[in-house]
Amino acid sequence: MSEVKNEFIVNNEELRKKLSEVGKNKRKVDGDKIARGRAQYVDDIRIPVDKLYHAKIMHSPHAHAIIKKIDASKALKLPGVVGVFSHENVPRVPYTTAGQNYPEPSPYDTVMFDSKVRYVGDRVCAVVADTPETAAHALELIKVEYETLPAILDMREAIGNKTIIHDERDATGIFDKDKNIAAHVKASMGDPEKGFKEADLVFENEYSVQYVQAAPVEPHIAITYYDENERLVIYCSTQVPFHSRRIVANVLGIPVQKVRVIKPRTGGSFGVKQEILIEDACAMLTHLTKKAVRLEYTRKEEFNSSRTRHPQIITIKSGFKKDGTIVALSMKLLANTGAYGSHALTVQCNTGSKALCLYNTPNVNFEATIVYTNLPVAGALRGYGGPQGYFALDSHFEECAKKMKMDSIELRRKNQVKVGEELSLTKALGEGREGFMQILRTCGMQQCLDKVLKDLDYYNKKKQYDESNKKSHIKRGVGLALAMHGSGIPGVDMGAASIKMNDDGSFNLLCGATDLGTGSDTILSQIAAEVLKIPTSKIIIYSSDTDMTPFDVGAYASSTTYISGVAIAKAAAQCRDQILKTASHLLGEKIEDLYCEDSAVHSKKSKKSVSYKDVALHTLYKEDQYQIIGTGSHITYDCPPPFSAQGCEVEVDTETGVIKLIKYSAAVDCGLAVNPVMAEGQIEGGVHMGLGYALCEEMKFDSKGVMLNPNFLDYKMLSTIDMPEMKTHIIETYEPTGPFGAKSVSEIPVDCPAPAVANAIEHACGVRIYDLPITAEKLLNALTNKK
């Protein structure tokens, strides 16, 4: 743990009250243009070249096959076709599509076009043509001969299977390719064996979670071209422009200097755009043809060939003393990474480091085995392993309490990690390497829990329904779940920004942090404005463009507010100090006697003041001219967890198995909310996503690995009218290492809904469902078996 060195501390109510820009519901800086349809997304970009060409990818129809021959002769004769590209004419460079820090902790098991396909939806070849229609037509004319291979479609059959999915020689970083194990991790604290021996009661359960997708409204899209300086420009919908630049340059074999990645407005991403999914191919096609190329996935391609949440089978074992004190906890995961190991190790590490730190257990054991299958590729997705782990953990805790005849809320309160305690596994489970031991500084969990209990009238309802449920086949239940998450990746995530002052006292804020629709452009502007003591409207933010903005790892791991936010505050502080220096000269007073407020510098002594505008005009035009400009970088070894308690009331019809959501309550301790309304939006969106995970979302496959529901007709996400009445609460704490006390809010909300719903269902009808999603069919079946 580093010493707290942050001059932007808000650690009490008094300081909180002095804030004028941060902690306020400022309008979204891009809200107006988005609402009016004027925002520029990748597809709206008009590039300065004569002609834009279009690429289409051919995807594998087989789960596992060797490409024997690609006959593109007919396609190449089609007027308008520029070229057909495959393993035959594209250089072979192993890499990972995971847009992570260098060196990426994911195996280099992917090449742009391989002579082998490993899942239905894998890349076979690409066409570049003058129109999207010609490109699609050309694909139909290409004849591909395959030699099909046996496929592994069940993660339980991967280890020791005769079929080896990654038998290529040039892949590196795979844990054990002969056993189809992409990654493996083991970690423990204390002495788990002894802990279980000394426990009075030991419980064990197995849980499993399904394949789901993030399904952002805007699919993956890229436009690439060579500019007049022979530099490759990539417009793409990405969370990680700088990782994208580095990885694409590597795959193309050109210097990073030759690549510029620009992220315009983004229509949602949720983790699946932390992936170098299509801009690598688009860039390569531009590189090989020297044409400007556009490549966009259809919804069907998104479902088949994008990224998913890792399916897992989770075994949890816990040991308690008779009084309910937890003394040992073990979690074993088998996870399915699909055909490639993108984020294989790190997502599963996160399942352990998040879920297993919530309850303070002296003896902890964690083991994850992540296997390859011939199914779609898993990757980063909001929560990053958390939703899987918490579904198992919170379901398990509820069951343990029931078996011990204890109040499950009290059991949680008793064992939950407290301020001042170490988060046991954070050192052992870092970002694919050893991490940094975290000590909890702030925690609003008990207050979160109180809010949710009150909203649901939990204890009264619990008693009331226990009675009323005996009389009817329509039964009600209440259930709760708790979670903690992280804020950035300690020691890894770095954000940087620069700010310069203009003639009129406005400021350009350039930052690498990427707004994906999350609102980070707004809250980062608020942070800069707070430091500079100006209205947020005086900030002109630009993000992100690898030529123009300082480096930032990108938007993932709930890092933007907590990490990039401090970088921006530092840059703003440098500007402020320069302003004070010039003002001191202009006013003829000492800096110590000056302070900034309302876009001006004031003197405490003489009560004189000078406006920012006059300071700017002076520095730019009058005397000893210079540019007021500040830069800031931020890295931290802290990772303060946000906390959430969530609960719901459900209605179960035991004749049909139909589950109705009646009421939902979510409370989150995200530190200080920089923009409370937007933070609430994150919470509500996360809950919506989590409820779909709990009840209906599932990618289904036939016996050959073909996805059966690659469209929104058959892949069901909850619609707005499926959402219950919802109460959202922000519990403010003041995290000393965050900007103005902020932690993070974007991922934590998605961790709780599945276990909260499962627990409420169990209360309603006495049936515990161990595998998601909890469909009517599954529940009715379980109810029938119980009888």
Which residue number, 305 or 603, has a Cβ lying nearer to another protein?
A: 305
Nearer to another protein, 323 or 713 (CB): 713
Q: Which is nearer to another protein, 257 or 719 (CB)?
A: 719
- β-strands 221-226, 232-236: how paired? antiparallel
Is residue 700 within 8 A of residue 708, CB to CB? The reply is yes
Nearer Cβ to another protein (537/711): 711
Least distance from C-beta 125 to another protein, angstroms?
Answer: 18
Nearer to another protein, 131 or 627 (CB): 131
Write down the least CB distance from residue 55 to another protein, Å. Answer: 15
Angle between helices 458-468 and 445-456 (to 10 degrees): 40
How far is Cα 94 from Cα 482, in angstroms, rounded to an integer? 41
Quick check: 124 and 86 in contact, CB under 8 A?
Answer: yes
Strand order in the sheet with 659-669: 474-484, 643-653, 659-669, 725-730
The residues, any chain, with a CB within 8 Å of residue 778's CB and separated by 6 or more, are: 657, 769, 771
Residue 258 or 716 with smaller CB distance to another protein: 716
Question: Whose Cβ is closer to another protein: residue 179's or residue 704's?
Answer: 704
Cβ distance to another protein smaller for residue 131 or 606: 131
Q: Please, are residues 616 and 628 in contact by the beta-carbon 8 Å criterion?
A: yes
Identity of the amino acid at 594: L
Tokens 């020689």 locate to 169
Please state the closest distance from residue 777 (CB atom) to another protein, in A. 5
CA distance 337 to 166: 13
Q: Which is nearer to another protein, 586 or 706 (CB)?
A: 706
HEC secondary structure over 562-596? HHHHHHHHHHHHHHHHHHHHHHHHHHCCCHHHEEE
Q: Is 12 helix (H, G, I), strand (E, B) or coil?
A: coil
Amino acid identity, position 506 = S
- Give min distance, CB of 721 to another protein, in A: 5
Q: What distance lies between CA 85 and its chain's CA centroid? A: 32
- Minimal distance, residue 723 CB to another protein, in Å: 10
H helix intervals, 356-484:
386-403, 408-415, 445-456, 458-468
The position carrying tokens 């709760």 is 480
Tokens coding 125:
């070849």
Footprint of another protein on this chain (CB under 8 A)?
132-133, 136-137, 300, 655-658, 696, 700, 708-709, 711, 713-714, 716, 718-719, 721-722, 775-777, 780-781
**Residue the block writes with tokens 């110590």:** 592
- For residue 132, give the H/E element and its range: helix 132-141
Taking the least distance from each CB to another protein, the nearer of 600 and 707 is: 707
The number of angstroms, rounded, from the C-alpha of 583 to the middle of its chain's C-alpha atoms is: 43
CA torsion through residues 135, 267, 747, 479, sign = negative
Question: What is the rounded distance in angstroms from the CA atom of residue 761 to the CA atom of residue 475?
Answer: 9
Angle formed by the axes of helices 386-403 and 753-765, to 10°? 30
Q: Which of 459, 712 has the CB closer to another protein? A: 712
CB of 335 to another protein, least distance (A): 24
CB of 655 to another protein, least distance (A): 5
Rounded CA-CA distance 174/370 in Å is 10
Q: Which is nearer to another protein, 406 or 776 (CB)?
A: 776
Tokens of 654: 């035991």
Q: How far is CA 281 from CA 103, 221, 606, in A?
A: 21, 11, 64
Residue 271 in contact with residue 237, Cβ under 8 Å? no
Nearer to another protein, 129 or 261 (CB): 129
